[in-house]
Structure 1
């Protein structure tokens, strides 16, 4: 178990049984109950999949957290932070990672999009509110780069995030 988990009935009533974090349990099937994934442990015994499995991923672009009906919550996740996710899902034709019960972040801020450079491009970092060259890094024309999320604005110019704290001018891409 990744987190402590309560055991539920098929009608999502708590049974009074729970498992501690780190406990191994064996499920033989899964079911979708009230729109969420649960693992079946026995006759009318289920645990939430979000408590049982997941993997840590690094967020590459600051991300808003959304509810299942795509309403923004008051939470957000900063770029560079590792978070525990419980699978990827599609909501209204967009991909999201589930980060908890009724909690989702956009997959484009994690997986990225492959884009091709139309010319040689410098890599920048942000310093004192402006973009400054990152070491002597130059990316070659026609090379493929992963970009994360939508373009961000630094001092009025648009940049794509290519890594935590690393940017390339949007105009350098095809």
Structure 2
């Protein structure tokens, strides 16, 4: 369970405690090792308990989890929560094949415009993009341009609101 949480955090930045059933002993161990922070987010009654990686947690992942090349860097909690929700609904194989936007930037040498990608059951790379509900058409065109240049045939668009 410890490694599963760290893997999810590396690929999505945050995890809502209600999305993953993690024993309190595991959380406590990760907090004592200073690998994970536990934060409260939002106002009552919709307050959420979130888990996030610390700098020490990132170092731990880089040293102990070589299958994770780049750690996801998000800046908007709501966006990252939407990405995490989508990620956790993927099959085990799809999650294992997940690559972050920084992996894609390095692979294709293009400005990153999708938040992640994974291999589907047919072995095709599928993009994932989380957009604010107020995103402009230009933002979608930018994503579509990246997909065309990277020869990614399909993308899941996920909408979120602040």
Q: TM-score, normalised to structure 1's length?
A: 0.23
The structure with the greater share of residues assigned to strand is: 1
RCO comparison, higher one (Cα < 8 Å, 6+): 2
Per residue, is there more helix in 1 or in 2? 2
The structure with the larger Rg is: 1
